[in-house]
Structure 1
Amino acid sequence: MMLLLLAALAAPAGQAPAYDLLLSGGMVLDGTGAPPFRADVAVLDDRIAAVSRTPIPAARARRVIDAAGKTVSPGFIDLHAHNESIFQLPAAESRVRQGVTTTLAGPDGGGPTPFGAYLERADKVALGVNVGWLVGFGSVRQAVLGRSDRAPNADELDRMKRLVGQAMHEGAFGLSTGLLYVPQTYATTAEVIAVSKVAGDSGGIYTSHLRKEGLGLLDGVAEAIRIGKEAGMPVVLTHHKAIGKAMWGRSAATLAMIDSARAAGQDVMADQYPYTASSTGFNVLVPAWAFAGGDSAFARRVKDPVLRDSIAKGILDILENDRGGGDLKRVQFASVAWKRDLQGRTLYDWAVERGVSPTPRGAVDLVIEGVLNGGAGMIYHVMDEGDVQRIMKHPWTAIASDGSLSEPGVGVPHPRNYGTFPRVLGRYVRELKVLTLPEAVRKMTSLPAMRMGLTDRGRIAAGLKADLVVFDPATVGEKSTFAQPHQYPDGIPYVIVNGKIEVDDGKMTEARGGRVLRHTPQARQAPPVAFVNVNVVPMDRERVIAGQTVVTEGNKIVRIGPAASVPVPAGAIRVDGAGKYLIPGLAEMHAHVPPGNATDAEITRMLELWALNGVTTVRSMLGIPKHLPFREAAAKGEILSPRIWASGPSFSGGSVPNADSAMRMVRAEKALGYDFLKMHPGIPREAFDSLAATADRLGIRFAGHVPLAVGLERAIQAKYWTIDHLDGFLEAMARGGPPTTPQQDGFFGLPLAADLDESRLPGLVAAAKRAGVWMVPTEAFFEAIMGDEPLDQLVARPELKYVAPALVSGWTNTTRQYRENPAYPRELRQRFIAMRRKIIKTLHDGGVGIVLGSDSPQFWNAPGFSSERELGTYVAAGLTPYQALATGTRNVADFLGNAAETGTVAAGKRADLILLSGNPLADIQNVARRAGVMVAGRWIAREEIDRRLAALVP
């Protein structure tokens, strides 16, 4: 952009003009809220080429506009615009004449669908304004569920998520909801959160027409803030208001809620139109349940005397206490296809015309009749001026119209369609002095631009897009009224959109500079977090550092030091660490991301279970191609997930029966981009030798089971990346020699435990140490199945509520069969467990690397929850709590080769952390006492963990 400025300023005299347009001599408001300054603004192509406090000669420009005595500001940005008629009215004159150059459309849950096709169609139209769109929750829900009053099943929820994800990929700026409206009102908060997370994971915003804006206003605000917090999205409380006399004045409480959320580090703001009347449909006067199933269902219900009576009571309550305001004169018709003479008149007028009592009770049947006729567009005069001004003055309120595109003579719409922005400048700045002019312009320009993520609009500076407005602060104002809305405003002689003059000396031109704007999906940036006065367990060695402040920004730890010396950044989430212990995030090095026909929802659910339990890295041991996009999304921070190391489909006797097939499969998995190869039993020796040689040439590692035909010694010689389950050790120590058939080997060599030559163990350990082979014991898996914990206690483990009941039932039956097998008596099973524990301790003492892995979600190991159980078995085997904890932290960093970025708590390391309510070095089971977790810099407190976990119960 600097090159553009220099080139323009350096154009030699006598040559072609350097600029297309020069706004000369005006007072510039740059959009930031700073005071105005006298400057010339030059435009070249679609950008601002220069902003000069020194006059620029008129000869330098092809066109000069004399802005003396006028204000030059960035084009206004409307955060809540109804563009449903953009193809019929592409010039958007009712907007452009207000000074609006950019709009965010698709509000109230009504975004376009199919999303991408709609935007592509808009690309082909000459638009008067720039337009970005939100994906609408209501549109998505209706596409999947119709107007059903029920919760979606898992597959339906998955479809909704996919539609939102696709829209975000196609350029949506975020997700909008209108939870007042059918069918959105049928959605629970949990459903909205689940769908919103998809938009949040792509950096989208959440704009909410609250579920309640009247008597339930505070609950509606709390719900929107909760949705944004749990979905990880900036929140806009759109067209914020307090409806009904009973709620007048309560904006003080709602704004305090915004302030409280912001103080806690959450990004929450509001937008507002400057009127005491709202505008929406006629059907909001009817309780939402009456519309379940659609219009025909409503028609049937009102014919049923009992149901009609119930509907009537709901209408009466709304007329008296909500949109009706208790006075039919407050309910005005804007557009009525079935009775056009009602347009501009009120429900009171219609009641008098029909000879019924002009009271809420008397109008109930008229409301039902109007709905049956097809409804109407309405204006509801139900807000208080004091609330309007209070909300407007709040520093985090933007101005937005909630208006539709209008053309003269069509209906009697809300005057906001023509007058929102000039009304603020005329009435609330010049006349009432509620806002200063610089602050009002900020609320119309840089503040909404910030919310939309538009870095090249919303301000006046060289290099930014040339969206500009010239207005006269002495005369600017609306002319539209509720009785005569079709009037363009005064005092806005020039509007420029992307360098094209669309309003020229007060007249609309044929120029159309608008464009379709698309949001680029991006991983959201987590706010800074400060753990204050916390005990740090850094895991660089066995120690606890008391009274520290740990600050994270983005996905990095940026500062650690004594609480008194480390400042908390402005706007940071402050976490009280007193009495708590901060450790690195844990790893699960033998995990199973759902394979086979698992849906995206099932995969996402399991990844979230791991993350919510502080597992920030997983190694998936049975991969499929479908896992690879999740690996990438996790790496980019687009989903709540551990980082994923993914294997390909497993190598087994069935998949690689010979050397040639093994070589081809290694090459194929390497080419597909898997991180390593998974070994399963049954691989012939010939095939294994080919596999190992090919993997070595291609530089891809292999890990997992040790096939009987291979044996532990050959596996170590071939430099397995990890030997999992301690597979092969008992076989290598069997006095009668290694078994050759699965029948001889039994359950992981359990029958062999009766007669082992333990003198062989040190040699095996030394060989593993020399070869650099790591071990993943998965010990909790074996001890749950073959141990003495009663089956009823296993089934009662609280974490198993996150496992499908049918799966738990299968585990129960299989475990019972193993324990009741005469070939596996209790004494032999105890010997099996004791020997495995001895192997773990001998491996550790012999310097062989051990990394944490529990084989979740296999037998009795719920994802995430199994980590503390696995660590407990290492302590039972003789490791200290520190040594056990190292297997899931620093050891994993060494194993994966990323010790420079993870594995310990230190400045510069990745912000994967767990906050515990007890010292894990005193008792390893304190790992289960999670007060919160941080995944790639995203802080999730215990309260949020519990809410999210509750939604993951199958």
Structure 2
Amino acid sequence: MNTHPFLSIALATTLPLASNAIAGEHVDLLVRDATVVDVVAGSLQPHRSIAVRDGRIVAVVDAKQARAYDATDVLDAKGKFAIPGLWDMHVHFGGGDALIEENRNLLPLYLAHGITAVRDAAGDLSPSVFAWRDAVARGELSGPRIFTSGPKIEGYKSIWPGDLEIGSIAELNAALDQLQGWKVDFVKITDNTLSPELFLAAVKEADRRGLKTSAHVPYALTLDEVSAAGLDSIEHLDYAFKAGSPLEKSLGEKIAKGEITSHDAWTQWNATFDPALARAVYTRLAQHGTAITPTINGSRVVTYLDQDDHHDDPYLKYIGPGLQATYTWRVERAAKDDAQAIAKRHERFEKSATVLPMLQQAGVTILAGTDAGFLNSYNYPGIGLHQELGWLVHYGLTPQQALQAATINGARFLGHQDEYGTLEAGKVADVVLLDANPLRDIGATRKIHAVVQHGQIHDRADLDAMLADVASRVARQREAAAKAGP
């Protein structure tokens, strides 16, 4: 029996203690004497041991029952806190074929930060993402489990790369056929050039086929309309704000017709915002099962570029030169704003963030996602989720609610709650080990001592080695780019 006293495991569970352990029952791993963080109940369960076999949890037991197990590896988790593996429910891989390797380098960044699953919300590297998804599932590639939409559905001449562009019901059905053929995990729909009519048709047809949907909401449609049509998740918090104004529909239609800018419309939505109206709409979202992914971190970075340009971020050593170059377009757009426009974007961001606790209180499922990846400036894969959790708490959630948004909520949304999201018998052994209690301070999620993915142990040395390897790869890519010239 091998003992690793240097390794500590933090696990969250809703499982009652096992009472039928057989003396000498063999397991691959026994995490001994952890304080389990129950993210569902918001409680601590001290002095618990977690038995793991074949990548799955066999039981969560007390100290006396733990003696009944004969384990190949024993991890002394005394003084450590255990939570389920984290899920980032909004990431992107993209930037063109030239950046395939730079995107692949992002996978270890997620795992090194305790993120054992990600939801890829579309880009222009779908063939590579499908291959990575399958390779991770087979254990052939190190990284988080990938749930992907494949290319998203849009209208003709979309500004976004890699879309499936449609202009008719026949083309919509063909696109959905193609996505189902690729076995996508959900369908992403956006509103750049897609008509409101085709948007609703896409949501309804995907729902009829049993497919989850995720979307940007067209201005010409209300949140009530898209939720009633069956939309499963709204991406980005600012879409929720306009639902609190009685002018949501009329101003949205004017934006769609080009009669008013979204910035001018927001000023009127803000002036007429009615908390009671917003709560009523949010309650209906909850009743229809429409979740929301706030992606606060990415929005906040761009909003406050005037205060922090992020040029000296230490984390840039993990981001390839090609991916960094994709940050430029948002940075340049923000740089064009004068003092008045900067103040206005600050106000818009902060006011929009005030609806977060209202959504939670109304029963809307909150999904923790970063929007990290290509195009999204200084919004980093890995550390970005921990920053997102910090902002979720800053803007009104409790640490427990933030943890739920990054664990059980994601698993439930994608229909995998039977295997992920909590730590109990029969579920996949995805575990993040923390040095401090995240229910007291959400910043504790950054204090990672070790990660267990599907029963495989990554101690702190392993995680640091992953980070060092990515930094080394990026350094070589930067050197090659410099030699190649402009």
Change beyond 3 A, Cα 1:544–1:688:
same
Deviation track 1:826-867 (CA, whole Å, cap 9, x = no partner) reads 442332222222221111000011111111123222111111
CA, structure 1 residues 670+807, in 2 after alignment: closer, same or farther (shift >3 Å)?
closer
TM-score by length of 1: 0.43
Which whole-Å CA distance do the structure 2 matches of 1:723 and 1:591 have between them?
A: 14
Say yes or no: does 1:713 pair with 2:218.
no
Q: Which of 15, 38, 47 is matched with 1:538 structurally?
A: 38
Partner of 2:134: 632
Q: Counterpart amino acid of 2:44?
A: V
1:903 Cα deviation from its structure 2 partner? 1.0
Aligned length: 432
Counterpart CA distance in 1 for 2:99 and 2:38 is 38
Residue matched to 1:166: none
Task: Using CA pairs under 8 Å that are at least 6 residues apart, name the structure with larger relative contact order, 1 or 2.
Answer: 2
Asked if the contact 1:725/1:779 (under 8 Å) is kept, the reply is yes
Please state if 1:791 is matched with 2:308: yes
> Percent identity, aligned pairs only?
27
- Which of 330, 346, 350 is the equivalent residue of 1:814? 330
Residues 905 and 881 (structure 1), Cα distance of their counterparts in 2 relative to 1, 3 Å cut: same
- Per the TM alignment, residue 544 of structure 1 is displaced from its structure 2 partner at its CA by 1.0
1:786 and 1:819 in contact (8 A); partners too: no
- 1:757 to 2:273 alignment: yes
1:677 aligned to 175, 187, 192, which one? Answer: 187
Kindly report the root-mean-square deviation, in angstroms, between the aligned alpha carbons of the 2 structures. 2.8
What does 1:630-669 align with in structure 2 at a 5 Å threshold?
630-654=132-156, 655-669=165-179
Corresponding position of 2:12: none
Q: Name the structure 2 match of 1:501.
A: none
Give the structure 2 partner of residue 556 of structure 1. 56
Distance 2:459 2:44 in 1: 22
Q: What is the CA–CA distance in structure 2 between the aligned matches of 1:719 and 1:585, rounded to whole Å?
A: 29
Asked if 2 retains the 8 angstrom alpha-carbon contact of 1:534 and 1:577, the reply is yes
With over 3 angstroms needed to count, the CA separation of the structure-2 counterparts of 1:584 and 1:553, relative to structure 1, is same
Counterpart-to-counterpart distance in 2, 1:584 and 1:813: 36
* Structure 2 contact 102–320 (Cα < 8 Å) conserved: no
1:724 maps to which of 235, 254, 258: 235
Match of 1:947 in 2: 465
Unaligned runs of 5+ in 2: 6-26, 157-164, 475-486
* Residues 537 and 905, structure 1, Cα contact 8 Å, conserved in 2: no
Which of 101, 107, 119 is the matching residue for 1:607?
107
Q: 1:702 aligns with which of 213, 218, 231?
A: 213
Map of 1:801 onto structure 2:
317
Name the SS for the 1:799 alignment partner: helix
CA distances 1:609-642 after superposition (whole Å, capped 9, x unpaired): 2122111111111152332232222223332222
Q: State the secondary structure of the residue aligned to 1:833.
A: helix
> 1:306-317 counterparts in 2 under 5 A?
none
Partners of 1:706 and 1:898 in 2: how far apart?
26
Secondary structure of residue in 2 paired with 1:548: strand
Q: Is the 1:751–1:828 contact (alpha carbons within 8 Å) kept by the matching residues of 2?
A: no
In the alignment, what sits opposite 2:427?
Answer: 909
Whichever residue aligns with residue 319 of structure 2, its letter is V
Q: 1:756 to 1:834 in 2, by over 3 A?
A: farther
The alpha-carbon distance between structure 1 residues 844 and 807, as it changes in their structure 2 partners (threshold 3 A), is same
Sort the Cα spacing of 1:949 and 1:881 in 2 relative to 1 into closer, same or farther, 3 A.
Answer: same
1:777 is aligned to 294
Q: Does residue 1:619 correspond to 2:119, yes or no? A: yes
C-alpha deviations, 1:502-536, integer Å up to 9, x for none?
A: xxxxxxxxxxxxxxxxxxxxxxxxx8233222211
Call closer, same or farther: CA 1:925–1:789 in 2, change over 3 Å: farther
- Of the candidates 244, 248, 251, which is equivalent to residue 737 of structure 1? 251
Q: CA deviation at 1:929?
A: 0.8
Q: Following TM superposition, by how much is the alpha carbon of 1:547 offset from its aligned partner in structure 2, in angstroms?
A: 2.0
Task: Give 2:368's aligned amino acid.
Answer: L
Shift of 1:707: 2.2
CA contact (8 A) 1:731 1:737 kept: no
Q: Distance in 1 between matches of 2:133 and 2:464?
A: 25
Q: 1:731 to 1:535 in 2, by over 3 A?
A: same
Q: Decide whether aligned partners of structure 1 residues 531 and 724 sit closer, same or farther in structure 2, where only a CA change above 3 A counts.
A: same
Who is 1:468 aligned against? Answer: none
Change over 3 Å in CA distance of 1:791–1:909 after alignment to 2: same
SS of the counterpart of 2:424?
Answer: coil
Check the 8 A contact 2:30/2:71 in 1, yes or no.
no
Alignment CA distance shift 1:815-1:754 (3 Å): farther
Are residues 905 and 754 of structure 1, via their aligned partners in 2, closer, same or farther at CA, if it must alter by over 3 Å?
same
Secondary structure of the 2:428 match is coil
- Give the match for residue 75 of structure 2: 575
After superposition, give the CA deviation of every residue in 1:803-831 in whole Å (9 maximum; x if it has no partner).
12454465367336426513863442332
Q: CA deviation at 1:731?
A: 4.0
Structure 1 pair 741–936 and aligned structure 2 pair: CA distance change class (3 A): farther
User: In the alignment, which residue of structure 2 is the partner of 1:441?
Assistant: none
The answer to whether the Cα contact below 8 Å between 2:296 and 2:388 also exists between their aligned partners in 1 is yes
> C-alpha displacement at 1:644, in angstroms?
1.7
What is the alpha-carbon distance in structure 2 between the residues aligned to residue 558 and residue 882 of structure 1?
25
Matched residue type, 2:470:
L
Tell me the secondary structure at the aligned position of residue 544 of structure 1: strand
Question: Which structure features the higher share of helix residues?
Answer: 2
- What is the CA deviation profile of residues 449-487 of structure 1, one whole-angstrom value per residue up to 9, with x for unaligned ones? xxxxxxxxxxxxxxxxxxxxxxxxxxxxxxxxxxxxxxx
- The answer as to 2:412 corresponding to 1:894 is yes
With over 3 angstroms needed to count, the CA separation of the structure-2 counterparts of 1:796 and 1:638, relative to structure 1, is: same
